Every structure is written in structure tokens, then in C-alpha cells.
């Protein structure tokens, strides 16, 4: 890696930090909260104002609690502790499940009244992550106790045969790797926050599921949709590949390896190289979904996929890939060119189309989770990895 390219990566990391600290945080603190309930709005409109008509996913409160806890921990948001704990308190008061004995509901109307009380595994993964970070950032013992209770709840309520957990307390068409990926992340966050080996053991259980079910060694791809026994779906869902998730697993597996000592390079290299081959458009953005043979299923390109691509490149830099630094630098440049380019500073475009045109111009609050993790990973990489 050239010294010039290293300096460009450091500059890219600082650019992300500046955007989070000086643009995103001031904007979302100013317009992102409902003044009566203290809940976070679901999204901002193109003019930078909140969408007051939108329904609100309960998990958005958890993702935003994580966002503010992480920002506080970095020294970017002195109000972060108050904001994060306020969001989780709102959920406890207004969106806790009334009869399940634990956990949360799924959807609120524009008045922040529950309109869908189903319990969803994916949602709960983010509450686990938020509580892990509230403990890490603030030393909040209540958050750690809540994390313990949540795990006990879905161990009982979402118990499944063949490993992992079911999708939730509702009828579903197939099982997904995606909630398990985010539980993998949440358990790693709990381990980092507490140092308790039981959380790393949980990650190890999910790593085994990744090895045996999610990863297809013949096609070198990550599978998404499965039957109850974790066999791949026989219909077209069984062939869907999301390049962004493949890149996200590169980052997660590397994180797990650094904590556990388990070798993962055969998986990270395979996922990275295959996603690079079949999932990246000419512009450098990632397609939302493709087939294992590279046929594009969905030509749209969400913002979050690019954040995961940049994080995967950081892993590959550390693994010695001579081209990964250049790809990471270009990825950050593309992020600002295509997504962090809204007319309101601190907002963003969510999705680009087949010709990289804007197709979704609202800014979902949930994307901030991806953006702040990227900023932290870039800064940590530049701080610790010297070449």
C-alpha cells in the first residue's frame, strides 16, 4: 500500500467522522424527535423535515438508541446518553409487548400507538445491540439486565429445532439468515462490553450455523432463505444472494476471529471475492440482490450495501489485499457522491436505481446505524493498522 493511498484512507475516515459529528448528529437531534413522546421519527423527507405521516417500526428506536450511545462513546454527542436512554424508556412505556412476558411489539402508527404487536426476531437483535452499547458507553447496569432478559425471552419464545431461532411469534414463509447475522453482531457487542465468555460462546453457536447452513461452499455465496430445518428454499428464494450481506459477514467474521482466535480467512476471502465478482455495479455501488451466477435480480442499490463494502475492504487491507485500500477510498467517495449528497446537510439518499438515478430520496433513520458503524471502523482501522 502506498503512503499516499494510506493518507487518502485517513482523510476518508476523517471525512466520515466530520459528517457524523457536524452534520448528521445536529440535524437528527433537531428534527428527528417527536416533541411529545420523545420517540424518533421513522424518516426524513427530501426537504429535511420529518415525515409526520409515516408509520414507525419499533426497531428504529433501538437502532437510534445505538446510534446515540455510540456517538456519546466517541465523544461526538454529549447529549447521547440522555437521548439513547430516553428512546429505550419510550419503548418500555409505549411499545413493550402486553402479553408475551418480555420483548417488544413491531409497528406504531403516526401517533406512536401500537398497530402491530407481533414479535420479530430481527427487531429484538437490535434491542440487544442497543442495550449492549448503553452498558458499554454509560455503564448502565439496567441495560445489561435488559439484555439478559431479552436473551432469556427469545430463548423461550423463539426456540427452534435445528439451531438458531424462529422468525417470531407469527406465521412466516421461510427462515432468514439476516436476524441471526444481527444477533451475531449483538452478542459480539455484549462480549466487548462485558468481557463475559458466555456471550462469545453464543457467537460461536451462530458461527457454526453460518458454516453449516448460511455459507454455500460450492457457489461461494451467502444464502438468505431457508426451510424450518435450514435446508435452502426450493423455490427462487433459495437462490437469492444479497451482496451487501456477504460484505457484512466479512466484517463480522473478522471481528469474531479477532476475539476468538478462530480462523475465518477461507470464508472472508470467498465472500469478499464472490460479492466483488457478482454484486458490484460498474459505478462501484452494490446491487440489492443477485443470483449466484451473477444475474441481477434487483438493480436498485441501497446506501447500506456500500457501507458494508467499505468495511469489508478494511478487513481485506489487513489481510494483505493490495487493491483493497483503493477500493475503500473510492467507496467513501462514492458514498458522498451518491448517498450523502442530500440538499439538507446530515440527511441522505437511500436508494439508487438501475442507472444510478435516485429512486428513494427519503432518509430512513435506520440507515444511521450503518453510517456510524462505518465511521467508527474507518477511524479504528486508521488508528491501529499501520503499513
Question: pLDDT of 42-88, one tens digit each?
Answer: 999 999 999 999 999 999 999 999 999 999 999 999 999 999 999 99
The conformation of residue 245, written as its DSSP 8-state character, comes to H
Task: Kindly tell me if the per-residue pLDDT of 281 is higher than 50.
Answer: yes
The answer to whether 164 and 175 have CB atoms below 8 angstroms apart is yes
Question: pLDDT of 124-137, one tens digit each?
Answer: 999 999 999 999 99
What are the DSSP calls for 276-312, one per residue? HHHSB-TTSPBPSEE-TTS-EEE--EEHHHHHHHHHH
Using pLDDT thresholds of 50, 70 and 90, give the confidence band for residue 105: very high
Strand partners, 176: 225
Task: Kindly tell me if the per-residue pLDDT of 5 is higher than 90.
Answer: no
Q: What is the tally of helices (H) and strands (E) in the chain?
A: 13, 14
Mean pLDDT of 4-30: 96
Strand partners, 108: 56, 114
In Å, how far from its chain's centre is CA 351? 16
Task: Kindly tell me if the per-residue pLDDT of 4 is higher than 90.
Answer: no
Using pLDDT thresholds of 50, 70 and 90, give the confidence band for residue 1: low
d(CA 111, CA 132): 28
- pLDDT at residue 387 in the model: 47
| Nearest Cα residue to 164 out of 101, 100, 102, 230 | 230
Question: pLDDT of 221-235, one tens digit each?
Answer: 999 999 999 999 999
pTM of the model: 0.98
d(CA 37, CA 103): 20
Task: Kindly tell me if the per-residue pLDDT of 10 is higher than 90.
Answer: yes
Q: In what order do the strands lie in the sheet with 107-108?
A: 56-57, 107-108, 114-116
The conformation of residue 99, written as its DSSP 8-state character, comes to S
Task: Kindly tell me if the per-residue pLDDT of 344 is higher than 90.
Answer: yes
**Considering the chain, what is the average pLDDT of its residues?**
97
Sign of the Cα torsion 243, 246, 248, 254 reads: negative
Burial of 4 (0-12, 13-18, 19+ CB in 10 A): exposed
Q: For residue 51, what is its C-alpha cell? A: 415525515
Amino acid at each position: 500500500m502506498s503512503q499516499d493511498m494510506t493518507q487518502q484512507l485517513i482523510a476518508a475516515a476523517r471525512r466520515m467522522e466530520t459528517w457524523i459529528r457536524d452534520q448528521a448528529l445536529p440535524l437528527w437531534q433537531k428534527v428527528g424527535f417527536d416533541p411529545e413522546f420523545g420517540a424518533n421519527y421513522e424518516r426524513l423527507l427530501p426537504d429535511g423535515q420529518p415525515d409526520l405521516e409515516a408509520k414507525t417500526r419499533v426497531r428504529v428506536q433501538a437502532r437510534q438508541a445505538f446510534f446515540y450511545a455510540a456517538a456519546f462513546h466517541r465523544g461526538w454527542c454529549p447529549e447521547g446518553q440522555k437521548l439513547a436512554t430516553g428512546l429505550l424508556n419510550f419503548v418500555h412505556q409505549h411499545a413493550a409487548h402486553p402479553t408475551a412476558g418480555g420483548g417488544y411489539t413491531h409497528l406504531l402508527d403516526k401517533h406512536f400507538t401500537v398497530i402491530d404487536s407481533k414479535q420479530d426476531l430481527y427487531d429484538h437483535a437490535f434491542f440487544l445491540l442497543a442495550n449492549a452499547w448503553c452498558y458499554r458507553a454509560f455503564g448502565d447496569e439496567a441495560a445489561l439486565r435488559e439484555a439478559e432478559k431479552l436473551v432469556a425471552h427469545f430463548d423461550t419464545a423463539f426456540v427452534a429445532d435445528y439451531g438458531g431461532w424462529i422468525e417470531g411469534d407469527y406465521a412466516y414463509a421461510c427462515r432468514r439468515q439476516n436476524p441471526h447475522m444481527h444477533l451475531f453482531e449483538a452478542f459480539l457487542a455484549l462480549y466487548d462490553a462485558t468481557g463475559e465468555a458466555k456471550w462469545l460462546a453464543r457467537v460461536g453457536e451462530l458461527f457454526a450455523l453460518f458454516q453449516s447452513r448460511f455459507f454455500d461452499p460450492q457457489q461461494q455465496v451467502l444464502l438468505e432463505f431457508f426451510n424450518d430445518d435450514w435446508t435452502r428454499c426450493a423455490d427462487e428464494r433459495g437462490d437469492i444472494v444479497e451482496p451487501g450481506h456477504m460484505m457484512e459477514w466479512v466484517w463480522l467474521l473478522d471481528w469474531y476471529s479477532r476475539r476468538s482466535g478462530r480462523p475465518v480467512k477461507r470464508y472472508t476471502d470467498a465472500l469478499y471475492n464472490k460479492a466483488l465478482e457478482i454484486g458490484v455495479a460498474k459505478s462501484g455501488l452494490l446491487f440489492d440482490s443477485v443470483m449466484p451466477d451473477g444475474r441481477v435480480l434487483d438493480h436498485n442499490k441501497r446506501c447500506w450495501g456500500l457501507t458494508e463494502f467499505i468495511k469489508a475492504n478494511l478487513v481485506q487491507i489487513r489481510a494483505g489485499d493490495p487493491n483493497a485500500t483503493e477500493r475503500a477510498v473510492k467507496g467513501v467517495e462514492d458514498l458522498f457522491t451518491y448517498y450523502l449528497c442530500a440538499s439538507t446537510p446530515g440527511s441522505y439518499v437511500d436508494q439508487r436505481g438501475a442507472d444510478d438515478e435516485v429512486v428513494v430520496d427519503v432518509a430512513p433513520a435506520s440507515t444511521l446505524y450503518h453510517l456510524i458503524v462505518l465511521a467508527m471502523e474507518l477511524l479504528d482501522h486508521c488508528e491501529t493498522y499501520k503499513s
